[in-house]
Amino acid sequence: MISKNFTKTHLTYDEQIELLESRGLIISNKALARKKLKHISYYRLSAYFLPFQKEKDIFIHDTRFEEILRFYYFDKELRKIIFNAIETIEVNIRANIVYNLSEQTGAFGYMEKDNLNITYVDYTNLMQTIQRETNRSKEAFVTHFKSKYKSDILPIWMVVELISFSTLSKFFKALKSEQETLTSELDIPPKVLKNWLHIINHIRNICAHHGRLWNKQFAIKALIPKKIHQFKDLKNDKIFILIMILNYMFKHMDTGNEFSEKIKNLLKEYPEIPLEALGFTLDWEERLQ
């Protein structure tokens, strides 16, 4: 049902520029502004207005359109770094699960409820989700397997490559010995790793949909390991906590990814970005060693 109280109407790009100027934003290059509004959209850019407004819809004196673009492009580059880092972690976790689970329970042991730490209802839902996601695949190796073995049930090394990261995270929560293997490697409790995978999946989805990381308070709060001093007193719902989590996992998984250097180089390129809005601490460089 459409709200009768909604009164906003379509504005042309020139009308959008006029609106911004009426609110105090300096737009000296209207051709550039028109181009960016066309390619990015007013609504997406509006998420970056807040640091430049003294009150709603009133820009701080001398605020320029290009300054807001800088915040947008910083967030875009940050999103790329985070998304690529998550991809590396994700591939590592998939490989870890495949190797250890296939060694312990065989190619199809994941189908046995006794090999999982899960209720019957959750087990049924998980297996249905796995089956649904693997059945959607058009990969040549899947078609070949089904043709050769006349079966829709795939071995674990195929399954783990095909299911979504969200399903992988739920699958990991249901595992027994594999949790011990990976949590031992990372030197954190299983409940912390489960939480971290949940957060990583959440941020991954934000990045995949080009969502904002800058100045965002996340709905899912991170569990902070009490015994790891780098995490002490960090905000658990800002992007810096995820940066710390990824950096910690990279170090313990020995992936060779230069993640922390990429973050530091990005911040050098955008020195005007207020780091407290991202959850950074004053000693963030020491923590991110």
Max Cα distance, the chain (Å): 70
Q: Using alpha carbons only, what angle is made at residue 36 by residues 35 and 39, rounded to the nearest 5 degrees?
A: 90
CB 237 within 8 A of CB 221: yes
Residue 240 is predicted with a pLDDT of 98
**The token pair that represents 19 in the structure block:** 């609106």
Instruction: Tell me how far apart the alpha carbons of residues 243 and 264 are, in angstroms, rounded to a whole number.
Output: 11
Residues 158 and 250 in one domain: yes
What is the SS3 assignment for 119-166?
CHHHHHHHHHHHHHHHHCCCCHHHHHHHHHHCCCCCCHHHHHHHCCHH
Residues 99 and 236 in one domain: yes
Count of domains in the chain? 2
1 in any annotated domain = no
Tell me if 90 is assigned to some domain.
Answer: yes
Residue 43 domain flag = yes
Judged against a pLDDT cut of 70, whether residue 1 lies above it is answered with no
Whether 32 and 86 share a structural domain: no
Q: Which residue type occupies 228?
A: I
* Structural domain includes residue 8: no
Residues 53 and 122 grouped into a single domain: no
Is residue 87 pLDDT above 90, yes or no?
yes
Residues 101 and 150 in one domain: yes
Encode pLDDT of 190-243 as tens digits.
Answer: 889 999 999 999 999 999 999 999 999 999 999 998 889 999 999 999 999 999
Please state the φ and ψ torsions of residue 62, each to the nearest 5 degrees. Answer: 75, 15
pLDDT band at 3, cuts 50/70/90? low
User: Position of tokens 């308070």?
Assistant: 217
pLDDT category of residue 175 using cuts at 50, 70 and 90: confident
Residues 48 and 120 grouped into a single domain: no
- Residues 24 and 102 reside in one and the same domain: no
Structural domain range at position 45: 13-63
* pLDDT at site 2: 62
Task: List Cα–Cα distances, 49 to 20, 65, 95, 209, in angstroms.
Answer: 10, 10, 42, 20
Q: Are residues 59 and 104 in the same domain?
A: no
pLDDT one-digit tens code per residue, 103-126: 989 999 999 999 888 888 899 999
Asked, for residue 3, whether it belongs to a domain, the answer is: no
- Is there a single domain that holds both residue 156 and residue 221? yes
In a domain, 6, yes or no: no
Residues in Cβ contact with 256 at an 8 Å cutoff, skipping those fewer than 6 apart: none
| 281 in the same domain as 220 | yes
Query: Across all residues in the chain, what is the average pLDDT?
Result: 92
52 and 166 fall within a common domain: no
Q: Are residues 45 and 83 in the same domain?
A: no
